[in-house]
Amino acid sequence: MNNILQQIAVETTLRIEKQKQITPPEKLIELAKSMPIGGTRFESALRGDDISFICEVKKASPSKGIIAEDFDHVQIAKDYAANGAAAISVLTEPFRFKGADSYLSDISKVVETPLLRKDFVVDEYMLYEAKVLGASAVLLICAILDTATIAKYIEIADSLGLCSLVETHDESEVKSAINAGARIIGVNNRNLKTFEIDLSLSERLRTLVPADKVFVAESGISTREDVERFRKIGANAVLVGEALMRGIGLKCLK
C-alpha cells in the first residue's frame, strides 16, 4: 500500500470507529437489513448496448484541491440524471475529498439513478452505512483490501442488494478482483503514488478481464476522444468526475 492510501485508510478507520460510537454496529446492521434489497440496479445500468457514464459528484481531490467552489451537490446530481448518466458516484470521504455522508443521503432522495458510494472501505460497517445512506453500490479498492476481504465484502454487499465496483491498478490487483468474485472491475488510470494519468493502463488491463465482467475505466477522461478510446476496447462504462465538475457537459463527451 502506498503512502497516501495508507494515510487515507488510517484516517478512515479512525473516522469509522468514532461513527460506531454514535451508531453502534448492531443498530446500523438491523436498520440496513430492514430496507428493501433493491436488486442489482447499478450493475444492470452499466450493461447497456453502448458505453455508459458514471458521473461523479466531487468537490475536491488530494491532487487538485478544491475542484468546485460552487458545490450544490443535489443540483449537480439532478443535472447528471437529466442528461443521461447511467449511474452517479458520490464522494463521502470528508478529509481529502471534502465529501459527506449527507451528500449521498440527500441525492438518494431526489434521483432514481443508481448511486455509488465513493469512499475508502476499510470496515464492513461502511457497507451497511452505504445501504442506509441510499447507495446502490460500493467501491472496494484492491490496493487497501486483500482478496479474502474483498470476497467477504462482496458477499455482504450482495446480501444487502448492493453492487460492488472493485477498483484495480495493476495486473496482480485485477487477478485479486477476479479471484474475489468481482462482477464489476474498474481500472483507475491515475497512479496513486504520483497522481499522473495514463489512459493506456485501462487498455492494457482490459485484456485480463473476462468478457462476462463489467469493465469500467476510471480517471483522466475529459474528451469525446477519450471516451471513444475506451469504447473501442469494449469498456462497459467510464467514470468521469473532474471534467464534469469543471463544466464540461456530459453531452460533450458522448
Choose among 77, 137, 67, 71: nearest CA to 106.
Answer: 77
Check if 202 is active-site: no
Check if 118 is active-site: yes
SS3 content of the chain, % helix, strand, coil (to 5): 45, 20, 40
Confidence category of residue 64, pLDDT binned at 50, 70, 90? confident
Question: Has residue 1 got a pLDDT over 80?
Answer: no
Question: Has residue 60 got a pLDDT over 60?
Answer: yes
Check if 219 is active-site: yes
Q: How far is CA 53 from the centre of its chain?
A: 12
| Active-site residue (options: 176, 188, 202, 236) | 188
Cell readout for 216 is 469500467
| Active-site residue (options: 43, 52, 56, 136) | 56
CATH superfamily of the domain spanning 3-33+48-253: Aldolase class I (3.20.20.70)
pLDDT of 2? 56
Choose among 181, 171, 179, 169: nearest CA to 142.
Answer: 169
Helices (H) and strands (E) in the chain, counts: 12, 10
Check if 189 is active-site: no
* Element containing residue 54 per DSSP (H, E): strand 52-57
| Active-site residue (options: 167, 189, 236, 242) | 167
% of the chain surpassing 70 pLDDT: 97
| Active-site residue (options: 59, 98, 118, 131) | 118
Question: Has residue 36 got a pLDDT over 60?
Answer: yes
User: Does the global pTM surpass 0.75?
Assistant: yes
Q: How does DSSP classify residue 56?
A: E
What does the pLDDT look like over 95-131, one tens digit per residue?
Answer: 999 999 999 999 999 999 999 999 999 999 999 999 9
Residue in the structure block whose three cell numbers are 458521473: 55
Q: Compute the average pLDDT of residues 6-29.
A: 97
Domain residue ranges of the chain, discontinuous segments joined by +: 3-33+48-253
- Measured between alpha carbons, how far is 164 from 144 in angstroms, rounded to an integer? 15
- Measured between alpha carbons, how far is 203 from 189 in angstroms, rounded to an integer? 10
Q: How does DSSP classify residue 38?
A: -
| Active-site residue (options: 58, 59, 98, 131) | 58
Check if 83 is active-site: no
* Dihedral sign, Cα of residue 196, residue 90, residue 175, residue 202: negative
Contact 238, 221 (CB under 8 A): yes
- Measured between alpha carbons, how far is 42 from 17 in angstroms, rounded to an integer? 28
